[in-house]
Amino acid sequence: MIEHLSDLDATAQADLVRRGEVTPLELVEAAITRIERLNPRLNAVIHEHYDRARAEARGTLPDGPFRGVPFLLKDLAGGHAAGDPYHWGTRFLRDAGYRHRTNAYLVDKFRRAGVVIVGRTNVPELGAWATTESDAYGPSRNPWSLEHASGGSSGGAAAAVASGMVPAAHASDGGGSIRNPASQCGIIGLKPSRGRISLGPDIGEAWAGMAFEFAVTRSVRDTAAFLDAVEGAMPGDPYEAARPLRPYVCEVGAPTGRLRIGLLGNHGAEVHADCIAAVDVAARRLAALGHEVDESYPEALADDDLGYHAITVVAASQAHLVEELGRLIGRTIGAEDMDQDNWAITELGRNVTNIAYLDALHAMNGFRRRVASWWADGHDLLLTPTLTAPPPRLGEHRPIPGKPLEAWTRTGALLRFTIPFNVTGQPAISLPLHWNQDGLPIGIQLVAGFGSEDVLLRVAAQLEADGAWRNRRPPIHA
């Protein structure tokens, strides 16, 4: 049984514990063995908490739905835990040996669900890139091809789950950072609705509400069960999504009815043929399942000004973050402490005026209303590519010496289909429905109306049952 654990999702592993067929310690030891064997090639896990995990697994764990299941946290805000390293992919926090002082509410909820945290995953510097290749910790590699990126900023988490190190891992999303690495690594990545999962207690909102927390998984039922475990606003949160009418796990396998699904393959962006092919595959499958699929989408998604306004907010937020991180270690952070593009964005943010920031918020609020009206007019879901291109090779999205912000521009182009729904706050999921001729996974994105994760999960479960992605394993796998 132990040798086959890497083929089981978190729900199945927890079932083994409940039935007494394995112990939490056996699950944890098996995960540690897998990480030690695979991580030298993938560089997905950067902080190991093995001794603590073993002690927790031997002790009394909460009797949650994932009791004893090994789990990884992402080394960014939202995944911070008291006493753990907290480095944001930066050399300056790494060199200071900084450890955080508090637990995120989300971490507490994961632990109450019964998971055992065995380590922390690799991220890009300041979580700012669509690829996980920081100067501090090096590149996280894609288990489908070691020459390709695993995505960002949850690249380490996605590589760890796709390779079978752990069945699920914490992830976060400020412009696609759950869905992008899920697409690049061939797993499932749900960005929930704004206010569905608390960012507290240290954070109220991040990037003016564009940042979200959750997880990446290998099965729809795991996505639903983890969402049940961690959803719900906490006292003082600035946003609160309406609570679901029933547990999300009840949506897996539930009837969907005939849904009206819009299709957007391209809206002025350069979209690779492989990504168009993935959408075509998804559209045919959805139509075969009885849904109405038409080439319709919110016209506001063609708004070229959205990127400018989003960058204004992100740059100002990053400038504030760098000041905050400097206070944590007691010194000023300068250009020599980070890559050239992150420094350029930080400098840009320091020069954003109050008026420019409020103009950006006003524009994004208007965009949100225009997009939401399309769902109000009768559509249930929107189908798009997750990304505009297949997984890039390592180095293609790294900052280029002497060409400030060129890599940042490439990142924005790759995430053309994900960023808008960080602005609107709607739930969106990336599903691994297609692989190209090079054997690389190509995700598709489904977007629902605000608060409608239940609809996403029902349709995702339909596609999972209709397809064979759960049986596909990358060349680098436990």
What's the order of all strands across the beta sheet hosting 188-191? 45-48, 116-121, 70-74, 168-173, 212-217, 188-191, 428-435, 441-448, 381-385, 260-263, 292-294
Torsion of CA 356, 360, 366, 367, to 10 degrees: 150
Is 452 noted as a catalytic residue in this protein? no
267-282 core/surface letters (b: 16 or more CB in 10 A; e: else): bebebeebbebbbeeb
Is 193 noted as a catalytic residue in this protein? no
- Could you tell me whether strands 116-121 and 133-134 are parallel, antiparallel, or unpaired per DSSP bridges? unpaired
DSSP 19: T
Q: How far apart are CA 78 and CA 105, in angstroms?
A: 8
Q: How far apart are the first and last CA of the chain?
A: 14
- Is it true that the peptide bond before 201 is cis, omega within 30 degrees of 0? yes
Q: How far apart are CA 50 and CA 119, in angstroms?
A: 7
Q: 6 CB contacts (<8 Å, ≥6 apart)?
A: 30, 34, 164, 165, 477, 478
Set 153, 163, 317, 452: catalytic member: 153
Is 177 noted as a catalytic residue in this protein? yes
- Is it true that the peptide bond before 153 is cis, omega within 30 degrees of 0? yes
198 neighbors 233 (Cβ within 8 angstroms): yes
Residue given tokens 């049952």 in the structure block = 465
169 neighbors 213 (Cβ within 8 angstroms): no
Set 145, 154, 163, 177: catalytic member: 177
At residue 66, the 3 state secondary structure works out as: coil
DSSP 99: B
Among residues 258, 287, 260, 256, the alpha carbon closest in space to that of 378 is found at: 260
Q: How far apart are CA 383 and CA 286, in angstroms?
A: 10
Q: How far apart are CA 171 and CA 150, in angstroms?
A: 13
Phi and psi at residue 365, to the nearest 5°: -65, -40
Q: 465 CB contacts (<8 Å, ≥6 apart)?
A: 253
Set 6, 74, 150, 430: catalytic member: 74
Catalytic residues: 74, 153, 177
